[in-house]
Amino acid sequence: MMRMIVWLYRRTGGRVGGSMRGAPVLLITSTGRRSGQPWTTPVIYQADGDGWVVIASNAGSTRHPAWWLNLRASPEATIEIGRDTYPVTAHKVDDDERARLWQKMVAVYPGYDGYTKKTSRQIPVVRLDRR
């Protein structure tokens, strides 16, 4: 299913697959920490200054999403927004910045607040800065 969403997003420049429940979606391609192969995942995002913010929620699972584990191992990635592609470096934001960015993300996708009730882990807020 994920491959189909990625294919449609790329084929249509994000017109299909470019939003989820009204929230904007980008594609992030990271390097698999075990396989070394590229992996592409659609993720809700918000622009913030010169970069972008994503949430490693995994829908409130007790485990971090694979794309975040991959980025922790190798923080350089590529994102696609519509037909535009950007090389980025990912990092988990500090607690001060986290509160502000969490609220910004909840404003676009309120489901994130519900995810915090499903898991005991702190859900990472990840900043993607252009390289």
| CATH code of the domain containing 64 | 2.30.110.10
What radius of gyration do the chain's Cα atoms show?
Answer: 14
The residue ranges of the chain whose pLDDT is under 70 are none
Distance between CA atoms of 99 and 44, rounded to whole angstroms? 18
Residue 109 has a pLDDT of 95
Report the number of distinct structural domains present in the chain: 1
What domain range includes position 103? 2-130
Residue 1 has a pLDDT of 77
Residue 62 has a pLDDT of 85
Distance between CA atoms of 49 and 1, rounded to whole angstroms? 32
Residue 60 has a pLDDT of 83
Query: Residue 7: which of 46, 55, 40 has the closest Cα?
Result: 40
- Share of residues in the chain with pLDDT > 70 (%): 100
* Helices and strands (H and E) in the chain: how many: 4, 7
